[in-house]
Amino acid sequence: AQSVTQLGSHVSVSEGALVLLRCNYSSSVPPYLFWYVQYPNQGLQLLLKYTTGATLVKGINGFEAEFKKSETSFHLTKPSAHMSDAAEYFCAVSLTGGGNKLTFGTGTQLKVEL
Amino acid sequence: AAGVIQSPRHLIKEKRETATLKCYPIPRHDTVYWYQQGPGQDPQFLISFYEKMQSDKGSIPDRFSAQQFSDYHSELNMSSLELGDSALYFCASSLGAWHSGANVLTFGAGSRLTVL
């Protein structure tokens, strides 16, 4: 079985500041890891994914994440927050051989202040 | 580019009524997934279909059923609705055979069900 833990249900940053959203996973087999973003009353949009290969992955809107197997982490970062980044962010895991089904973390609400 | 289409976008029902949600996957996607997202909750996996056969089952109540049709669209049927069924229901689709892994799920905008 797999699970995802997102530390901090709410994160607040100033515009222009570093964004760091934390995600740790538990998996019995090599995982595939994803970050999705959800704007109010909208669907889930893929930000980035890690499957194999390079552990630092870059996504849309300037976000990136690094897969660290030793720490079972997949934290999401962005060097400089923008007001438009305010949204809810979900980390998710699927398993190799698991048919693509995603298990989500509980989400982190990002607030960006002036 | 074509996305995942869900209908209706909003639905209001009374307790004990029945509701049907529809999902039209991205063309050539053969796998459909249903998720339920309660207020302030993370999306919970309900059920998935690959090539019109149920491929996985999650926390779907017995009052709910779903199927995938020959044109790959899917319908989620919910009966004897309860207040706790009020949620955002997402459909997602992906390419790839069962057990292939690594394929990205593309989500629809969701259907918001309100049970009064």
For residue A19, what are the CA distances in angstroms to A44, A56, A78, A80, B41? 19, 16, 5, 7, 22
Give A79-88 pLDDT, tens digit per residue: 999 999 999 9
CA neighbor of B43 nearest in space, from A38, A30, A46, A40: A38
CB contact under 8 A, B107 and A98: no
Contact with chain A for residue B54, Cβ under 8 A: no
Whole-number pLDDT of residue A99: 64
Tokens of B16: 């004990």
Give B30-84 pLDDT, tens digit per residue: 899 999 999 888 899 999 998 899 988 998 999 999 999 999 999 999 999 999 9
Residue type, B60: I
Res B1 pLDDT > 70: no
More confident call, A99 vs B112: B112
Which 3 state secondary structure label does DSSP give A35? strand
Q: How many CB atoms lie within 10 A of CB A105?
A: 25
The alpha carbon torsion through A57, A59, A61, A64 (nearest 10 deg) reads -20
Contact with chain A for residue B53, Cβ under 8 A: no
More confident call, B1 vs B2: B2
**Percentage of chain A surpassing pLDDT 70?**
96
Q: Chain B: residue nearest A33 by CA?
A: B102
Phi-psi region at A83: left, alpha or beta (left = phi > 0; alpha = psi -120 to 50): alpha
Cis peptide upstream of residue B8 (ω within 30 degrees of 0): yes
Give B74-106 pLDDT, tens digit per residue: 999 999 999 999 999 999 998 865 545 457 889
Whole-number pLDDT of residue B99: 44
Residues of A in contact with B50 (CB under 8 A): 99
Residues of A in contact with B96 (CB under 8 A): 100
Q: Chain A: residue nearest B97 by CA?
A: A99
**Beta-ladder partners of B29:** none
Residues of A in contact with B114 (CB under 8 A): none
**Beta-ladder partners of B21:** B76
Q: For the residues of A59-77, what is the DSSP string, one character each?
A: -GGG-EEEEEGGGTEEEEE
Res A29 pLDDT > 90: no
